Amino acid sequence: DLAGPAEGPAEDPRCRAAEVLQGLLSPAACPELGRACTPEHPLGAPMVSTEGACAAYHRHRPVPLGRRP
Question: How does pLDDT run across 2-47, given as a tens digit for each residue?
Answer: 666 666 667 799 999 999 999 999 999 999 999 999 999 999 999 9
The answer to whether the CB of 30 falls within 8 A of the CB of 20 is yes
Amino acid at 37: C
Query: How wide is the angle at C-alpha 29 spanned by C-alphas 13 and 17, nearest 5°?
Result: 40
Distance CA 68, CA 17 (A): 21
Q: Indicate the pTM of the whole model.
A: 0.72
pLDDT score of 50: 87
